[in-house]
Chain A
């Protein structure tokens, strides 16, 4: 192994190196969560605008696959190194305390692996549902008046199913929960924290988490309450 290769591999094997990867992929994934939410909120602009946005994304061609590939890689690295660190951390204390009290650690921070695993399961289900149309295929084949895939009607019809919107709302809560610790945490790991920034990042993390929750959940709620109306002719 050359010196340079050794230097790079030892970053991946050091504790801080692994943490840096989790934090850096966390930045990418948080960016996606916010961007995806802003894109989705265009559903409130009506069928035409929303389907235009959807067909724009589908029309990106190779670029779409580059972005998807990067996101997939970020997800894989984030999960792989989180699990690796969690296993090492568990080994660092083989004999537990008989009595253990927490003074600082938030409940969200202590349940990151649970929230993470459930959110991951949701992502798989979510892609099978809205991207691939493999689950709930009955909502997938609508065509809008301009002959495009009617994503707008698919979303509204899907969310009128209480089981689908229920799963979605619970998952979004766990995503927000994960972000409420993850956001400020990734700044700390990347070394972008000091006494002055710390309370700001904490508040920003909480705000971001609940903004993400509110943004995503507004869609099934609007579909449910009839604020989002189906275009005429979709239902027989």
Chain B
């Protein structure tokens, strides 16, 4: 299949950047989107053009490194997948494809399609952990965890921190990401101890990183490769209110 790509090219963080048009000829429909870009890059190298820079790592849909907005949708048109798991058979011969980086003030573009998403790391550092005092190894099943809580916690823990929620949100809000982390830990007995401090610190860091705030449109959930539910945002709001109003136990 033959395609026309419009790719965001930006030399470095200071460059203003622009969309460049590249033809992508004789693409195998069974290629993944990233493999298609690899092929296009081979061609660019042969023409002495700087290849398109993009992030990728595991290429099996579990790491959350690949990040691009394809035709206006982060991770592309296929629901519940990352870009690396999007295949060219989802496109038609002759299609024009716009490829842009994840856009947010908190995710500055480093080069082409690569953004700096370390704002997420700083949010995790602010409270996305469970403090463990060293000592003897506790028994495996010493702390009973109700099955319902366990399952919901695991639904939230599926978040791979790719940032598609921020990229899709018209407000570049990180609330789906933060709420998944807050919920995941608050639902488990080990994490519940620090729940109040955690939600306040993580939301504080989120605001400091200049993410926007949720207007309940649920675009994030629709593009999330792990299909994290916005019910966790409601849970985070609840946790936040409790953390503010009730004294820490």
A residues neighboring B (CB under 8 Å): 7, 11, 13-20, 85, 88-106, 109-110, 112, 181, 184-185, 187-195, 198
Cα of A7 to Cα of B235 in the assembled complex, Å: 21
Picked from A14, A104, A189, A190, the residue with its CB within 8 Å of the CB of B218 is: A104
Cα of A184 to Cα of B215 in the assembled complex, Å: 11
Majority DSSP secondary structure for residues of B touching A? mixed
A89 touches B213 (CB 8 A): yes
Residues in B whose Cβ lies below 8 Å from that of A96: 103
Most buried by B among A15, A188, A195: A15
User: What is the count of residue pairs linking A and B with beta-carbon distances less than 8 angstroms?
Assistant: 139
A193 touches B103 (CB 8 A): no
A103 touches B219 (CB 8 A): yes
B residues neighboring A (CB under 8 Å): 6, 8, 19, 69, 71-73, 98, 100, 103-106, 168, 170-173, 175, 203-204, 206-207, 210-219, 221-223, 229-231, 233-241, 244
A16 touches B103 (CB 8 A): no
A85 touches B213 (CB 8 A): yes
Query: What are 10 A-B pairs with beta-carbon distances under 8 A?
Result: A15-B175, A15-B212, A20-B241, A93-B212, A97-B103, A98-B100, A103-B168, A103-B219, A188-B216, A188-B237
Cα of A17 to Cα of B203 in the assembled complex, Å: 10
Cα of A99 to Cα of B217 in the assembled complex, Å: 18
Cα of A95 to Cα of B102 in the assembled complex, Å: 10
The 4 nearest A-B residue pairs measured at CB: A191-B238, A92-B212, A89-B171, A101-B72
Residues in B whose Cβ lies below 8 Å from that of A181: 216
B72 touches A97 (CB 8 A): yes
B219 touches A104 (CB 8 A): yes
B216 touches A189 (CB 8 A): yes
A15 touches B213 (CB 8 A): yes
Residues in B whose Cβ lies below 8 Å from that of A13: 207
B73 touches A94 (CB 8 A): no
Give the nearest-CB partner of B79 in chain A.
Answer: A103
Give the nearest-CB partner of B204 in chain A.
Answer: A14
Cα of A20 to Cα of B8 in the assembled complex, Å: 38
A88 touches B212 (CB 8 A): yes
Residues in A whose Cβ lies below 8 Å from that of B6: 98
For the complex with contacts A89-B213, A98-B8, 6 further pairs of A-B residues with Cβ separation under 8 Å are A14-B203, A92-B106, A92-B171, A92-B211, A97-B72, A191-B235
Cα of A211 to Cα of B195 in the assembled complex, Å: 41
Cα of A191 to Cα of B98 in the assembled complex, Å: 37
Nearest CB of B to A205, in Å: 11
B172 touches A92 (CB 8 A): yes
Picked from B104, B222, B234, the residue with its CB within 8 Å of the CB of A191 is: B234
Residues in B whose Cβ lies below 8 Å from that of A16: 203, 213, 236-237, 240-241
Cα of A192 to Cα of B233 in the assembled complex, Å: 10
Residues in A whose Cβ lies below 8 Å from that of B235: 191, 194
A20 touches B237 (CB 8 A): yes
Residues in A whose Cβ lies below 8 Å from that of B216: 109, 181, 184-185, 188-189
A103 touches B223 (CB 8 A): yes
Contacts A14-B203, A98-B100 given: A92-B234 contact, CB under 8 Å? no
Cα of A74 to Cα of B241 in the assembled complex, Å: 20
Nearest CB of A to B243, in Å: 10
